[in-house]
Chains A and B, each alone.
Chain A
Amino acid sequence: MDEVCEQLDQLVESHMDALDRLLTLHDTLEQKLSEGHLNIAKSRYSMGGRFVSALQFDNREFSALKRVFIKNKRLSDTQVVTSFTTEAAEEPFSTDFSENVRKRNVKKTEKSTETDDSAQSPPTDPCKWFGVLVPQSLKQGQRYFQSAIDDLCEMASIQSEMSSLKKEYTRLLKEKKRIGEEEKRVE
């Protein structure tokens, strides 16, 4: 019984800890997004509003600079935690699959040796859509948005961690109730 109570306490502590990390990340995300948008407004001030708008999006190639890797980790019989990490999209798809790695775009390994270089060429930097000589504020805004993506992934991982902690907590609470009733019956 004491064991279960101790485990419950530990779970509450880790849950609060995760919540704290989540809220701090929320704050930094908000800051980064607002700075990013302000930098876009600044580059409109320098270049002219028509030159920094949805009109410049490249319809030929709309591929992302970053990829998200989703990994399911099994901590115990009942706990499964999903973690999200980002990686630059320049590296070719890695072919070693370990620990249940689930990827967004799956490419067969035999095909990857046949495909020519153009399929594996790195995606173009979206800053180039607006011209080669873009003001520093545009590049700065891009950096803010890119680091915001990393924050988002971490937040998603923490949220999945929190939900698995919560499940474990409810399970242990039921266990504690069951043990309590058993002890009462024995008395």
Chain B
Amino acid sequence: MDSLSFNINGGYLEGIVRGFKSGILKRTDYLNLVQCETLDDLKLHLQSTDYGNFLANEPSPLSVSVIDDKLREKLVSEFEYLRNHSVEPLSTFLDYIRYSYMIDNIVLLITGTLHQRHISELIPKCHPLGSFEQMEAIHVASTPAELYNAVLVDTPLAPYFIDCISEHDLDEMNIEIIRNTLYKAYLEDFHSFCKNIGGTTAEAMCEILAFEADRRAFIITINSFGTELSKDDRAKLYPRCGKLFPDGLSQLARADEYEQVRQVAENYGGYRTLFEGAGTNPGDKTLEDKFFEHEVKLNVNAFMQQFHFGVFYAYIKLKEQECRNIVWISECVAQRHRAKIDSYIPIF
């Protein structure tokens, strides 16, 4: 993206997103939140931040899920504002961000249908950024082929579903496979879209997306130990747009235990440090925490450069991490279990 011409279409929105970014909670805000004794205290402290009176109309007693929903509402309204004011290619870029939420919603709805929940219970729980028109029709689908023909074929996710169509009945295993296959196809598509845009956007985004791909490969491998997912099936779920492709991924496909996964990470400098710091002893950070930390670092770095689309993606991801942090602190406060309350990840 040429720095001279970016501001014609993207200047206003980059300014807006940088303004939003300055409202992200700082370390001092988190220190205040951690000292709260009750959820009402937490609400009081959040009033002095950019969130303002977002919990004002909620009946007490507050619950953590209400806080979670309200935090998400604010993010959604900010995203909608950005999307409504954008033009190509930024609008396609922002749509790509939406697709990951769509995949989450589809999985939520199919799982709910499989477990015989009524569609009216499930729809309110879907993420607003991922809603699409055919959502309500999901409950008619009982096989992946029906799901494709009835629902997905008219959505932007249709090309991602090509590998998953089959006539077997939906059960927990193939729902999990569908989730990960859709996400893999989405990530690879997004990566090539960013690469085609080129310039600073490609520089910032491709690094972030490569890490996301590798992180998914590691997490899928580790979580699949002890389950019925076969190694071949697992290998098909690894996204190929990361640094691990092709050698690391083929090694991961053969791994049977955590130590072997660690060995694979030893060959990649950036990932070796992440595995070194992680452990399951009390007081250690978990591997997932280290991954989240690294993701936050990459997203913060995206703001160091101007005139690219990466700042929009980075802002959404940082806001999501902030929501996770606030919900974690609220859970610890609500459960009065303060031992791990400091496991949140400070952003700025």
**Chain A interfacial positions (CB closer than 8 Å to B):** 34, 37-38, 41-42, 44-46, 48-51, 53, 55-60, 128-129, 131-137
Q: Roughly how many angstroms separate A70 CA and B121 CA in the complex, as a whole number?
A: 38
A to B contact number (C-beta, < 8 Å):
83
Would A46 and B288 count as touching, CB distance under 8 A?
Answer: yes
Q: With A133-B223, A133-B229 in contact, is A53–B65 under 8 Å at CB?
A: yes
Q: Roughly how many angstroms separate A128 CA and B302 CA in the complex, as a whole number?
A: 37
Would B288 and A59 count as touching, CB distance under 8 A?
Answer: no
Answer whether residue B248 sits at the interface, using C-beta atoms and an 8 A cutoff. no
Q: Roughly how many angstroms separate A136 CA and B225 CA in the complex, as a whole number?
A: 10
Q: Roughly how many angstroms separate A183 CA and B242 CA in the complex, as a whole number?
A: 94
Would A50 and B125 count as touching, CB distance under 8 A?
Answer: yes
Would B331 and A44 count as touching, CB distance under 8 A?
Answer: yes
Answer whether residue B297 sits at the interface, using C-beta atoms and an 8 A cutoff. no
Answer whether residue B188 sits at the interface, using C-beta atoms and an 8 A cutoff. no
- With a cutoff of 8 Å between Cβ atoms, the chain A residues found around residue B328 in the complex are 41, 45
Would A59 and B331 count as touching, CB distance under 8 A?
Answer: no
Q: Roughly how many angstroms separate A55 CA and B104 CA in the complex, as a whole number?
A: 14
Would B115 and A56 count as touching, CB distance under 8 A?
Answer: yes
- With a cutoff of 8 Å between Cβ atoms, the chain B residues found around residue A135 in the complex are 219, 223, 288
Would B68 and A49 count as touching, CB distance under 8 A?
Answer: yes
Would A131 and B175 count as touching, CB distance under 8 A?
Answer: yes
**Chain B interfacial positions (CB closer than 8 Å to A):** 64-65, 68, 104, 108, 111-112, 115-117, 121-122, 125-127, 172-173, 175-176, 179-180, 219-220, 222-224, 227-229, 280, 286, 288, 324, 327-328, 331-332, 335, 337, 340
* B29, chain A: closest CB distance, angstroms: 19
Q: Which single member of B127, B224, B335 contacts A34 (CB below 8 Å)? A: B335
Q: Roughly how many angstroms separate A48 CA and B111 CA in the complex, as a whole number?
A: 15
Q: With A45-B327, A132-B173, A132-B228 in contact, is A60–B223 under 8 Å at CB?
A: no
Would A133 and B176 count as touching, CB distance under 8 A?
Answer: yes
Would A59 and B115 count as touching, CB distance under 8 A?
Answer: yes
* A149, chain B: closest CB distance, angstroms: 20
Would A41 and B332 count as touching, CB distance under 8 A?
Answer: yes
Q: Roughly how many angstroms separate A108 CA and B179 CA in the complex, as a whole number?
A: 44
Q: With A41-B328, A48-B104, A49-B65 in contact, is A132–B117 under 8 Å at CB?
A: no
